[in-house]
Amino acid sequence: MSKKSKAEQKPNSKFAEAMSWIIPIVVGVLVALLLRQFVVTFARVDGPSMEPNLVNNERMIVWRQAKVKHLSVIVFDAHGVDPEATKPNTDYVKRVIGMPGDTVSSRNGNIYVNGKKINQNFINKYQRTTGTGNWDLKSLSKSWSRHTNSVKVPKGEYFALGDHRSVSNDGRYWGFIPKKKVLGVAKTFFWETNKTKRNNVNNLAY
């Protein structure tokens, strides 16, 4: 049997060499896409509604599989939730106050969940009282396009507020956030903020 010439061996050698670096790149891109779709993505704060704990243009990591709890800071697609969000993939950042089945009300700057006053040490007294108002879900929901006359947060939905109550466009004005709209739970990068603000975003959920 005759041996293959060097000229015959060269194309195969070049193909193998090309595939040796193409395959790792393709695999890396696929892994990155899967991680972004199912595990983690990134977001940026747009506006002052989460001040003082998150500021305009601050970057965040968003954990898609993290469990949403009371006081979790979440990122969600507001299209179909807020009537003013007319374009798909309009992401909002808010803090979850009410979980499914909860009652939520506000009196004199205090927020009550199931009749119990929640700890709002993540904002100061001025921020708690200015722009918060006195209300409950039933009084708020009279002006919503969905879930009018609600007494409790419906199954599979959340009620959320911005930390900067006086300027935040949040659940008080458009209602509940369906679970399917939530992209994930937001966490701050340690180099983007100070320890107190980082704790107020990352560690208060219960």
Residue matched to tokens 């109550």: 165
Per annotation, catalytic residue among 2, 6, 10, 49: 49
Whether 6 is a known active-site residue: answer no
Terminal alpha carbon distance of the chain: 75
Per annotation, catalytic residue among 94, 106, 168, 197: 94
**Nearest CA to 138 among 117, 124, 152?**
152
- State the Cα–Cα distance between residues 87 and 37, nearest whole angstrom: 20
- Write b or e for each residue in 43-77: b if 16 or more Cβ atoms lie within 10 A of its Cβ, otherwise e: bebebbbbbbbbeeebebbbbbebebebbbbbbbb
Whether 49 is a known active-site residue: answer yes
User: Which residues carry out catalysis?
Assistant: 49, 94
